[in-house]
Structure 1
């Protein structure tokens, strides 16, 4: 058997056109061996290829002695090798000779590793070896204490159950990176010597690993505990440690949760890579471990141990909608932004390798985030030429090479077509599916804004990401999106609110910007229109439609900021967006039809400021993220939150902000949050407006609100907030009366 097996992406075969499943993705790398001794040696060979000054030696069965060794090994930059109680394996001895260390440190007393092993090392004539020492102890608890004494002084320690191995191993990378000792305890009683050590070292912070069944409340009460990382089992504990301490890690390491040796040998490597060690079952990934991998999208997953310990097919489950890495080798676009059931979707796809496509409807789906609706089978490689790309509009002018019909029973929604090639490179093509059913809630996807920021082909409506810093005036929908792995800005803000709305059971009709410009919203005439994203670019027809409907019976919920800011036009059967912006004086519509000039809605000759629709309007980009400040806790929208005036909810205000300038009568300030805007004091406002013609508008005035309803993809800066959820529900209930 090979000692080190590298798993590169295999060929992805789509078996059935209708099956809706794909072959599982393999892991990036596996380090294994015929037994735990070889796994430890192969880890050592890979990561200490040039030798090591220090080697840690541990009994392959005595996990108790080894549990605390990882931080010490990391501190010494030492591989951990395994030995039998009374003799070295030939594999381990050969690796000791190759490493040629200056010192070897034996973990545990003579009952754990017999002096005969030390003698065997002495007789091996390792040329640089100067010292063989031992970290002893009468039991596992004393060993952990003695290891702690070898580490740099720390006021923070880790405490784990010493009678099971899993929790201490899961915390080992974090402890190692921070030079934190791992001390061991019984479930219901802390050794007196351990307590004395904690007091003698003046430890002011203890992190407990494991639930109350592992480390009891009685033990916790003896210590200055600041944090406990628990879970219903060892797998959840490992996932919760990863979520807590490795939220941004781009590497993850996996080992079986049924034995300790592989995770022990790999823990120092994980620490060096600033990644967690996740424990898994051999044939499937436990739920929270899988959730961590999916939500964090690690670029590399390394498995310690052979397929019998961790099966290679467990990392990427069949039908996984999420994309873990960016690529340029496969991409595509559709012929339109939106479709009705029964319509034909034409796709223009460029791929360097054979590929398949899976179509997902995005939503909550019990936390899965999407449901697989269809698979398009396997297609041959086809690299599109850019020789016919329009230099003005950036229309790719690719060849249509895939098409499918939308089934009549598909519900309205945002759908992502996931392209997956034989090397497991992936990207999305987003499409909106409309409905012939008239639901009372509509939701708009900011597809114009997606294209405004999209610089595929070298141009967007912004100089910062356009060639020669010169923005385009016209942009085509017939080109791939660069953002969001091909999904545009969908994952920035919209997806978070959609997940939450669908979780709560709201029945939604979905619209693209183009749909509203073409009159689909007016045709459906919903009770409420929800704007979840940065919907910055509207046509005159869009503004006319929304404004007319809100003067009749349609309410507005604006869950973002800087909405309806720039006026644009659609040309070429609504496939090209026109926006002169700063060059508005050159827009030919200055003479043809001034009401359609592509400038700010608030500017001449358009003169239709956003606050006439929302009550508030865009003011700028704050210098940082700010808390939302409650200023009118008596308002009905706060009912059930328990909030009072002066309370702050961190992280809500940021990105871009709107505020109320007092020009529109009747606008109620729900929260007015102090911010700094371009070096000057300003405010961001959450508002409610009972319009004089009977309809209502709710505006949050910030980019980040939706992340606190469902933080998917933004857990590094946001988390679910029940008070924000209650406010949102209160607002929607009122808007739907």
Structure 2
């Protein structure tokens, strides 16, 4: 086993074969070391490019001259991996209401004490606020995961710690940071659901996150719905991947899901803008733990590719009730999946998707192959990957979505078509609507060099609900990702959410 192979596994994006230029995104605790301006003692923000500190450039922006001094680097914690398993963990449930409890199952190698620092994602300095810290906990080396074919499960791990959620905690997206006494660190995301309705329900795509999870990413036993390993540690493709994956296991690598940053980008921006948000996971929508008709809008902020029938029916019921749907990524609702109990009987802990393996009628698990193309809800559907980020080209600039953004007809928004893209398929049925508009039409070359295009869609259902689909991975990062922020996208998103919630704000000042 070479060091290069281990680094490749630990990279995540390479192992999953996903072209996502944004990845997990910047998070304040993911830096390996603290960085200070030499001679000043000033701690640098976690998103600053060190090359820029040394006189280089960050994107197209040069830092001020007074910040060209070299930084002093202090030692910090190291991210755990799936080879050494220095510390890894998962929760027995991914979402809980205030007053409930979150049970952590953690393995520590070698056995030693560890701490759990709990952060909430939001409009804090650095993008997350530390909420609480556990007492020192005794860590043990847990049993190896159980395997059944390609399915890997750690439901045989002992419980390590119970976090009781106080009733005064704010609902939101949380991350537990696990740190060993010898300085290794891993992460466990979870959601505190909202017991009361709000204007907007934010639905975190935990089903899709698990589909990509290759844990353990060690060249032997890990498997996702995309990949598995052969006997030589080689990465196998979709035809040899798992059909069933378990939620009872950590996430690969540093412990955060692939694409999680897309959701966190939206959360930071939306909380800073003051929107009234409730929080839930996709499995909460599936299980009926949240009533989508109680909200003015449902927001799907990140890559949300895997949907159960129950999830789709809940979204359709919400639309029919007049609840708007806001999809801020691409390749949404592409695969149909089902959920089942774990071997211990806990509900919705196993996910099944046969993908391209045909059923008795020769159909794949694509929603469009099963007779319900995603365009029937979204207004557009998945077109393909985008090899290199390309400009989004504005269409219908007089529409209220683009109001006060400064965007004109055929203006190009650099880098806004990236990762994966959706478009309108003329031969596929559209949903019923009273108004419909395509708000971007952006040409790009696909992986074969053929010219194709991306489109952003908005329609109004007969119920009065709006359904927006950005049609690109890059929309949420443009809201709050350092180096990717686009103020036109920020204002367009505000226009959309203001229309959905009935909120009013003053017009943007004109040019001076």
**2:352 counterpart of 1:578:** yes
Give, in angstroms, the shift of residue 635 of structure 1: 1.3
| Partner in structure 2 of residue 474 of structure 1 | 244
CA RMSD of aligned residues (A): 2.9
**1:395-410 alignment, distance < 5 Å:** 395-396=153-154, 397-410=156-169
| 217, 230, 247: which one aligns with 2:64 | 230
| Partner in structure 2 of residue 699 of structure 1 | 469
The worse-fitting range, judged by mean Cα deviation, of 517-526 and 445-454 is 517-526
CA contact (8 A) 1:359 1:373 kept: yes
**2:488 counterpart of 1:731:** no
Separation in structure 2 between the aligned mates of residue 598 and residue 406 of structure 1, nearest angstrom:
42
Shift of the 585–657 alpha-carbon distance from structure 1 to 2, 3 Å rule, reads same
Separation in structure 2 between the aligned mates of residue 171 and residue 447 of structure 1, nearest angstrom:
35
Q: Note the alpha carbon deviations across 1:459-488, whole angstroms, 9 max, x for none.
A: 0001377864411011110000015x2121
SS of structure 1 residue aligned to 2:144:
coil
Give, in angstroms, the shift of residue 390 of structure 1: 4.4
Separation in structure 2 between the aligned mates of residue 420 and residue 567 of structure 1, nearest angstrom:
37
CA contact (8 A) 1:568 1:598 kept: no
SS of structure 2 residue aligned to 1:541:
helix
| 120, 123, 144: which one aligns with 1:361 | 120
Separation in structure 2 between the aligned mates of residue 26 and residue 392 of structure 1, nearest angstrom:
33
Separation in structure 1 between the aligned mates of residue 369 and residue 105 of structure 2, nearest angstrom:
38
Q: Note the alpha carbon deviations across 1:668-699, whole angstroms, 9 max, x for none.
A: 01111111224322111112111233211111
| Partner in structure 1 of residue 319 of structure 2 | 550
Give, in angstroms, the shift of residue 404 of structure 1: 2.1
Q: Hey, which of these two has a bigger chunk of strand by percent?
A: 2
Shift of the 679–374 alpha-carbon distance from structure 1 to 2, 3 Å rule, reads same
| Partner in structure 2 of residue 630 of structure 1 | 394
Q: TM-score, normalised by structure 1?
A: 0.55
| Partner in structure 1 of residue 132 of structure 2 | 374
Separation in structure 1 between the aligned mates of residue 178 and residue 261 of structure 2, nearest angstrom:
20
| 430, 452, 455: which one aligns with 1:685 | 455
Q: TM-score, normalised by structure 2?
A: 0.78
Shift of the 626–324 alpha-carbon distance from structure 1 to 2, 3 Å rule, reads farther
Separation in structure 2 between the aligned mates of residue 696 and residue 558 of structure 1, nearest angstrom:
11
Give, in angstroms, the shift of residue 368 of structure 1: 2.7
Give, in angstroms, the shift of residue 389 of structure 1: 4.3
Q: Note the alpha carbon deviations across 1:126-154, whole angstroms, 9 max, x for none.
A: xxxxxxxxxxxxxxxxxxxxxxxxxxxxx
| 294, 297, 304: which one aligns with 1:535 | 304
How many residue pairs match? The answer is 429
**Structure 2 stretches lacking a partner, 5+ long:** 1-30, 40-50, 217-221, 342-346, 503-512
**2:331 counterpart of 1:562:** yes
Give, in angstroms, the shift of residue 344 of structure 1: 2.1
Separation in structure 2 between the aligned mates of residue 389 and residue 411 of structure 1, nearest angstrom:
37
Q: Note the alpha carbon deviations across 1:513-539, whole angstroms, 9 max, x for none.
A: 110001123266211001111110111
Give, in angstroms, the shift of residue 599 of structure 1: 0.8
Give, in angstroms, the shift of residue 172 of structure 1: 9.7
**1:146-225 alignment, distance < 5 Å:** 173-174=54-55
Give, in angstroms, the shift of residue 278 of structure 1: 2.4
Separation in structure 2 between the aligned mates of residue 669 and residue 465 of structure 1, nearest angstrom:
42
CA contact (8 A) 2:445 2:451 kept: yes
Separation in structure 1 between the aligned mates of residue 32 and residue 251 of structure 2, nearest angstrom:
27
Give, in angstroms, the shift of residue 726 of structure 1: 1.0
Give, in angstroms, the shift of residue 382 of structure 1: 0.8
CA contact (8 A) 2:336 2:353 kept: yes
Give, in angstroms, the shift of residue 708 of structure 1: 1.5
Shift of the 644–421 alpha-carbon distance from structure 1 to 2, 3 Å rule, reads same
| Partner in structure 2 of residue 602 of structure 1 | 368
CA contact (8 A) 1:356 1:421 kept: yes
**Structure 1 stretches lacking a partner, 5+ long:** 1-24, 31-35, 37-169, 176-206, 208-225, 232-236, 242-275, 280-300, 303-314, 317-322
Q: Note the alpha carbon deviations across 1:222-256, whole angstroms, 9 max, x for none.
A: xxxx987427xxxxx32xx4xxxxxxxxxxxxxxx
Separation in structure 1 between the aligned mates of residue 500 and residue 358 of structure 2, nearest angstrom:
37
CA contact (8 A) 1:521 1:545 kept: no
Point out the structure with max Rg over C-alpha.
1
| Partner in structure 2 of residue 443 of structure 1 | 202
Q: Note the alpha carbon deviations across 1:578-598, whole angstroms, 9 max, x for none.
A: 111111426xxx7xxx9xx97
Q: Which structure is richer in relative contact order (CA contacts within 8 A, separation 6 or more)? A: 2
| Partner in structure 2 of residue 415 of structure 1 | 174
